[in-house]
Structures are given as C-alpha cells and as structure tokens.
C-alpha cells in the first residue's frame, strides 16, 4: 500500500510573509510544493510549471468541469486552483504536500474533510502589513487597499485553522511551522 504523506495548507493575508516562509520550508526535501493553476498573468521571474501552471480562463474552466481541482477560488479577479493529481502523487510518495492557497480554498478543503494540517500565517500587526505591502511596491494604490481589506477579512477566519503562526520573526516562524509538521529534526539521508 502507498505511504500517505501529510497535506499542509498555508494561508494568510498577502504581505504576512507566507511566501517567504513557504520558500524556506521547501528547502527541506521532505516537503513538496503543490503547483497551483491560475489564470493570472505570469510575473517577471515566474516559471510556468514551477511557480504556477498558467492557464487561459477557458483551459481553467475545462479543468473545473472535468473535476481536476480539489479546490479552486477567485482571488483578486483571477482564478486559482489546486490540481488533485499531483497532490495525490506527492501524498502517495509519503512526502508532505505544501499548499499555499487563500482562505476560501483552505476552507473548501476543510469543508470536504480533507485531512491535513491547516496553518494560518498572521502578520504581527496591520500597520506592519501595510508597510510590507507598500515596500513591495507591486500594487497600484487601489489594489493595495483591496489587498488590505481582504487581509483584514481573512484575519477574522484564522480561528478556523488548526494553528496560527505569527510572523514576527522569520526564523522563529519557519521553525514553528516545521515543529507543527513534526519536521523539526533534520531530514535523515
């Protein structure tokens, strides 16, 4: 019988440092990133198939109809979804499958009873979050406000997660997530 790895869902408001934490977690060979599909435009530096599978809206819709997504949601006007197959393959290999998805997607997975560890990354405070988003400088002022509103809404949902990790210190936050996953001991080779 196939070994069953664990699924870990990491969500949190944009700017809370979720991506940085995930990048650090992925340095551990026992953890595999679940590459989502999206209809949003590819950003400079992003690689198709590594960061996301970039799809047209039509391609995405077809996959929705074919039941290829275990969850999907619209985020900031674009569609994002987790493909069942690669996620299953990771779990079957006994590895930890890391899903970096938004709150809507995470709650869909909870609602269908998908076994896993649900971790919410929280910013130390919202002023700090605003500063981080401004410093990132990837948004127009309107988009920035939208992200902050969404961040506040998402923050209210943190109680539905198994764990809330406050990202006041990157090393500490990464260590805490690894501890939650039972991966705080280094990988044995």
Binding site for ligand 5GP (CB under 6 A): 14, 36, 40, 71, 73, 75, 80-82, 100-102, 104-105
**CB of 187 vs ligand 5GP, minimal distance in Å:** 26
Q: Determine phi and psi for 97, rounding to 5 degrees.
A: -100, 120
For 66, the token pair is 């074919």
Nearer to ligand 5GP (CB atom), residue 78 or residue 179: 78
Nearer to ligand 5GP (CB atom), residue 40 or residue 163: 40
Nearer to ligand 5GP (CB atom), residue 2 or residue 113: 113
Mutual angle of helices 170-181 and 18-25, in 10-degree steps = 60
CA angle 11, 81, 177 (to 5 degrees): 25
**CB of 150 vs ligand 5GP, minimal distance in Å:** 8
**CB of 29 vs ligand 5GP, minimal distance in Å:** 22
As a whole number of Å, the CA-based R_g of the chain is 16
**CB of 175 vs ligand 5GP, minimal distance in Å:** 22
Rounded CA gap, 52 and 54, in Å? 6
For residues 54 and 38, the answer to whether their CB atoms sit within 8 Å is: yes
Nearer to ligand 5GP (CB atom), residue 137 or residue 189: 137
Nearer to ligand 5GP (CB atom), residue 74 or residue 184: 74
CA neighbor of 115 nearest in space, from 139, 136, 96, 89: 96
**CB of 57 vs ligand 5GP, minimal distance in Å:** 15
For residues 178 and 184, the answer to whether their CB atoms sit within 8 Å is: yes
With residues binned 3-state (H G I as helix, E B as strand, rest as coil), the percentages for the chain, rounded to 5, are 40, 25, 35
**CB of 189 vs ligand 5GP, minimal distance in Å:** 31
Nearer to ligand 5GP (CB atom), residue 97 or residue 101: 101
Find the residue with minimal CB distance to ligand 5GP: 105
């Amino acid at each position: 019988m196939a070994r069953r790895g664990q699924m870990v869902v990491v969500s949190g408001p944009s700017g809370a440092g979720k991506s940085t934490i995930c990048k650090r977690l992925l340095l551990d060979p026992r953890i595999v990133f679940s590459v989502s599909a999206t209809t949003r435009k590819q950003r400079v530096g992003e690689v198709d198939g590594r960061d996301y599978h970039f799809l047209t809206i039509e391609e995405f819709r077809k996959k929705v109809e074919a039941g290829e997504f275990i969850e999907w949601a619209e985020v900031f006007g674009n569609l994002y979804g987790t493909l069942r197959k690669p996620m299953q393959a990771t779990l079957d290999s006994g590895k930890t499958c890391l899903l970096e998805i938004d709150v809507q997607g995470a709650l869909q997975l909870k609602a269908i009873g998908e076994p896993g560890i649900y971790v919410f990354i929280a910013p130390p405070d919202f002023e700090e979050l605003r500063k981080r988003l401004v410093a990132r400088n990837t948004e127009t002022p309107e988009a920035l406000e939208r992200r902050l509103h969404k961040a506040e809404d998402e923050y209210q949902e943190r109680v539905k997660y198994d764990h809330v990790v406050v990202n006041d210190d990157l090393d500490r936050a990464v260590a805490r997530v690894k501890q939650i996953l039972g991966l705080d001991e280094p990988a044995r080779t």
